[in-house]
Amino acid sequence: LSDRYPRRVVILAVAITSCGLSAIGGLLPGSSILLVVVNLLFGAFVFPLYGQLVALGNDWIPPERRQAAAAGFVMISSLGCITSPMVIAMSMSVFGPAGYFWTHAAVLAILVAYLSYRTRVREAVPVERQSPFKPILARSGSIAHTVGRWVMHPLA
């Protein structure tokens, strides 16, 4: 979708959906079987956000600076990976298991507010000038390297 429509619009829709699913998860009782469905849907929407945000960043960054920008993206993602378990644990100690969902909902609501603001104050990159989206995970480096080597030499 983010190759056919303005990337910020797609990211905003995905973030709003993820935020809504988090809020639903926070409202459900901890013993509800619906939590499994909500978690699956939440993961399906929230995990592609990293790749979409990297693609959005690459739309604005000149090709010769993308390697340095990629290092910055990984550093920011790493900081989130370090701090989020601590923040979620504190939230869960205060609010119980629902704190897991409410923390995600709060962070996603901040992202939605920021994206809504940026959509109003800066013109989007035209769809025809967007770089093609490549689905990547935040922590796929070593896996991609290993799989890539196997794909090049499947019998090795």
How much of the chain is in helix, strand and coil states, percent to nearest 5? Answer: 75, 0, 25
Q: Where are the domains of the chain?
A: 7-152
Q: What is the pLDDT of residue 104?
A: 95
Query: What pLDDT digit, counting tens, does each position of 30-76 carry?
Result: 888 999 999 999 999 998 888 888 888 887 788 788 788 888 888 88
The 10 Å Cβ neighbour count of residue 88 is 17
DSSP state of 123: P
| pLDDT at 108 > cutoff 90 | yes
The pTM for the full model equals 0.73
